[in-house]
Amino acid sequence: MPSLDQAVVLIREYGYLILFLLTVVEGPIATVLGAFLAAQSYFNIFIVYVVVVTGDLVGDILYYAAGRFGRTHLLERFSGLTGLTPDRLTWLERWFESHGAKAILVAKYTQTGFIALPGAGAARMPIPSFLFFNLVGTIPKAFILCAVGFLFGAAYHQIDSWIDRISLLLALAACLFGAWAIVRSRRKTAER
C-alpha cells in the first residue's frame, strides 16, 4: 500500500488523467471530487474545470456513438426487449429532429443521459447539434459541480481552522483549570 507521500506524488503526476477517465465514466462525482482536491491545493481548479468538461463530453459522445453505430445491431437483437421496432425508430428520429435540444439539456440535469444520449445517436441527431447542445448543458453543470466541490473543500479548511481554535481554547481552559486547582490545593494545604 502506498504511503501518503507516494499517493500525493501519484495525484500530482497522474491526477488530471485519472480525473479525466473518472469523468468519462461518472462525471458528477468525479467533478466534485476533482474540485475538492483543488480546494486542498492538489489541483488547479481551472484545469479541473477544463478536464471535467472535456471528460463529460467524451463520455456523452461514447453514449451517442453506442446509439448511432449500434442501432441496427441492437434493433435486430433486442427489439423484443426494448420495444424499439423500425416504426418506433422512425418516430424517434422525427422526435429528435423537433425536440433533440430539449432532450439533451433535460438529460444533462436529470441524470438520464444513459437513455437520451444513445437515443440521440440512434435517431441520428446531427453530430454538430448534439455537440453544441451537449456543451451548452455541460458548461454550467460542470461549473456548479466544481463550485460545490470547491466550496466543500473550502469548508473543510474552515472547519479545520475552527477545530484548531476550539482545541486551543480547550487547551487554554485546561491550563487555567489546572492552575486554579494547584492554587486551591496549595491554599488548603497552607490553611491546615
Q: Domain for residue 88, yes or no?
A: yes
pLDDT beyond 80 at 157? no
Q: Domain for residue 97, yes or no?
A: yes
**Residue 99 pLDDT level (bands cut at 50, 70, 90):** confident
Q: Which domain holds residue 89?
A: 4-156
Least confident segment among 96-100, 101-105, 183-187: 183-187
Calpha distance 138→116 (Å, rounded): 15
pLDDT of residue 128: 95
Calpha distance 20→131 (Å, rounded): 18
Specify the number of domains making up the chain. 1
Q: Return phi, psi of residue 51, to 5°.
A: -65, -45
pLDDT of residue 109: 80
* Over residues 155-166, mean pLDDT: 60
pLDDT of residue 148: 87
Write the CB contacts of 145 (distance below 8 Å, at least 6 apart in sequence). Answer: 27, 28, 31, 32, 35, 52
Q: Domain for residue 176, yes or no?
A: no
Q: Domain for residue 18, yes or no?
A: yes
CA distances from 2 to 7, 8, 40 (A): 6, 10, 20
pLDDT tens per residue, range 102-152: 889 888 888 777 788 888 998 889 999 999 999 999 999 999 989 988 987
Q: Domain for residue 182, yes or no?
A: no
pLDDT of residue 10: 74
Q: Domain for residue 186, yes or no?
A: no
Q: Domain for residue 78, yes or no?
A: yes
- Measured from the Cβ of residue 136, the count of other Cβ atoms closer than 10 Å reads 14
Q: What is the 3-state secondary structure (H, E, C) of the chain?
A: CCCHHHHHHHHHHHHHHHHHHHHHHCHHHHHHHHHHHHHCCCCCHHHHHHHHHHHHHHHHHHHHHHHHHHHHHHHHHHHHHHCCCHHHHHHHHHHHHHHHHHHHHHHHHHCCHHHHHHHHHHCCCCHHHHHHHHHHHHHHHHHHHHHHHHHHHHHHHHHHHHHHHHHHHHHHHHHHHHHHHHHHHHHHHHHC
pLDDT beyond 80 at 158? no
**Residue 8 pLDDT level (bands cut at 50, 70, 90):** low
* Over residues 147-175, mean pLDDT: 69
Q: Domain for residue 26, yes or no?
A: yes
* Over residues 170-179, mean pLDDT: 75
pTM: 0.72
Total number of residues shown for the chain: 192
pLDDT of residue 7: 65
pLDDT tens per residue, range 20-78: 999 999 888 889 889 999 988 889 999 999 999 999 999 999 999 988 888 777 666 66
- Measured from the Cβ of residue 145, the count of other Cβ atoms closer than 10 Å reads 22
**Under 8 Å between Cβ of 129 and 98:** no
pLDDT of residue 173: 77
